Copies of this chain bind each other. A is one copy, B any other.
Amino acid sequence: MQFFKLIIAYDGTGYSGWQVQPNGVTIQQLLEEAWHEVTGESVRIMASGRTDAGVHAEGQVCSVESATSLDCLTLERALNASCPDNISILQVNFADAGFHAIRDAVQKTYRYQIQFGRIRDPLQCQWRWFIPSLVDVAGLEQAARLLEGEHDFASFQASGSDRKTTIRNVSQIRVNQWQRSVFGYLDIEVTANGFLYNMVRNIVGTLVAVGQGKRQPEWVLQVLEQKDRTFAGPTAPAHGLFLVRVDYHEPLN
């Protein structure tokens, strides 16, 4: 058997997320069907993060264990030919025996995309959460700084989750803002060693409450202390979220 590492990108619009499920088409399902079409094998393809319905990926990493004798470039070409236009395989590489996309991930980076200002950009509304009035971007950035580091992020996980520990190390939250024509754009990039369920979208919803002037930046420290989802801001919608990059300990081949 050979282990493979796949890097893939997809437009999550209209999909029911990564993970195979009884109702709705998922990325995992289409990728496993493509693998079957190409190799004749029924395999389970694991992804570093099970992105939710409507969430996109620029650099999702997957692991597969397979008996195929096809080489990496042939696999990449054939899988791309078998996948729809909104799913692409960017890279196929051999991986070390036992490689597992979730367990072996060291850190992941997500980007959340916002558009602000009085007028909606009709060419970006599919990829960005539209917030008409974002009056305190400096406050939003300050609040982002306060969330960096190792904390108990229990307030930022979807209610009903039960992870062993809710402590995560958020190594960086980068806020990037620019203006084009009458439109304001804001990207929030979050890197961490692990993410609780809905964590990025809950962090973004909380930061946006500060950006809208509804809360002071220091409020996010109180939210952290409460360790209770009901104290944080709303969950940002899925369509603005991109899984950007997944890092592993050593370069796999």
- A: which residues have CB within 8 A of B? 9-11, 56, 58-59, 76-77, 80, 85-91, 118-123, 125-127, 181-182
Contact = CB atoms under 8 A, between A and B. Distances in A.
Contacts of A77: 118
Contacts of A126: 11
Pairs A-B, 7 closest by C-beta atoms: A86-B122, A88-B122, A11-B122, A90-B182, A85-B125, A11-B123, A10-B122
Contacts of A121: 9, 88
Contacts of A86: 122, 125
Nearest to A80: B119
A18 to B, nearest CB: 14
Contact of A123 (B9, B76, B123): B9
A28 to B, nearest CB: 15
A120 B85 contact: yes
A85 B9 contact: no
A123 B58 CA distance: 8
